[in-house]
Structure 1
């Protein structure tokens, strides 16, 4: 299998995504086939990976997926020359309670797949202490191997020399250093980076990042540090039952949060996917037997969705005879009303009684394990589903019967149960995998 590296850091906001994109494009410019992955639940980073490499990137998650499923997903690196797996949060950050094959920490993936870690360190306000942090991360878990570090946001040449010397004294390789002025920033919004498809300039941003990294990072040394993992590829894929044979999938700027591995699993099981755009006032394909509304940013388009009478009429008619399911933002659009951050209240589809508001922001974040109280498309009552929740909305009303008993990673029951009315179902959590 292709040699790989895990790009990680001591914490969020250090520069993992920028370095991953820059390295991916720089090696692609050299003629290498680069395959990216994302550790943990994240819809946005993989789209940027794809923009940098020209290849689809998928999520691998040790809390929600077993090793067989992760091995199946990474088997897509078979014809790649290099694998770059971007971590989430800090290297060892995960939940306190172990999930299917780990805690969701990036270190789980590095150890499981045998990929060395390329650590991004921000030494702002530090010098030798940065080396102590790197050494601590290197020695924290025996099964995780540190390849070396890239310094980000160094203040001056003297600052860089101090940090480099301290790292050399600990035996940690430094592959390069980027100054504060050389940093490339990608626009952000409340759920993370602005999506790649919304940025016409994304190609130029990635190209500029690749140019800077090529000038300041030893690409040959980084490539030599990558390690090929042992092959444990299995034919057993993700255990994800399609919600129907022909799936009408909402897909546009308001509904974009669906994992590539979900669609791959549905297609592998023989299902067909037909997309439509609610923002273009389209409704689900009349020949579909189920409609799926994924999450995204409907709160940014609530007025337009409320005004699109063709979409509303067609989807309501569809729901009279066939199942409709919504996740997070899709669930909110299926509800009675959605209040945007500015306080304007917009009427939604009314397939469910849910009313949500962004006028008072409240973060809901974390892994979720749901046990269905009633059926939903693709899953019977009693099924256990693993996923995650991430949104800033507040529930104003959720009057319909609960869809599931939903617990966080520690087993504590949460209020966001989802709901069901007739053939309409919705959840605040995004499905990742079925619990085996």
Structure 2
């Protein structure tokens, strides 16, 4: 590959990494920037909502003269076609051959390719099938509804639950698990699943931590989807096969929302246990005299010194139980704001593998805030994930911001979000509920 091509790829990768698009993530091995893994978070308001869809992106020698090859990896081992244009075998069809103006252009880039894939994940993916414009009958409209229904189910099962169970090493021992796969031979499926697990453990898996953090953000949304959709279907109802599905290039299975609910709960519990284990692992590194523990303690002292210089009296930092891997924040709500009078105790849980694993930040007493989940986890973003000071600044900015732009990917409390971006009367209800939660924070 030419030097120019490498520079072009490096620049495009850097632009995505520095961006604020929470729906895209990329990763690659330092030794080979030509082969990239990409994660697309399913768009809100679609049947793909908050699913984690993984792709491999391989750049040709003459890039950007020719487009990168994109392969879908979230396919349930090649058994699930998530879209008319995203095949079970991994093929991603972004253009229709022969149509003028739809070919690859060197003006396009990695980000535009990923956004094009994301655009396929629409509220009505049936429309991606050629001939959709002629689908006007009641039967066609029912098929569209049925197609959306099974994608919602499989997004939860395959694009959320499966990869998290594998990364958390959760064994599927409950009866009825993966009923959708039981339409194939059970013994073959078990062997294939074990092979896939083994292959995954040995392969490059850069998005495991991102999935865990986002799972805690979107947990309420996942459960809400189950509550709504389970009212529309019967347990073990088979998926309807679409006219464009054939042979192995299909999405077969049956509905089993009770099972998905149990698995989601177990994943949440395991992630919380893992978060607590960080503190124990961290203390061991301190006992073993590893440098990360002392580095974290030094960073805390430096950050506290910086805040003192800035005369920032709204924030107090400390180590929890003298553990460098658990930081405590006491935040005092600013006067003349909706947070006035509130005293918030916040814990920052830091992994011994920071920054590869990012901090998980929880309010000890959850507040009614669109960026704070019912479980107390704060949804925030920083462009400098390797600097803990930037994490703390992002925490303060996130909870203080009174007029943020609407972004459904960062609104993790459904009721608070509905009121915050509702009518003026809804906003008043939001403020009243927030104020009540502030009173609870000081009790």
Q: TM-score scaled to structure 2, two decimals? A: 0.27
Higher relative contact order (CA 8 A, sep 6+): 1
Larger strand proportion of the pair: 1
Larger Rg: 2
Larger helix proportion of the pair: 2
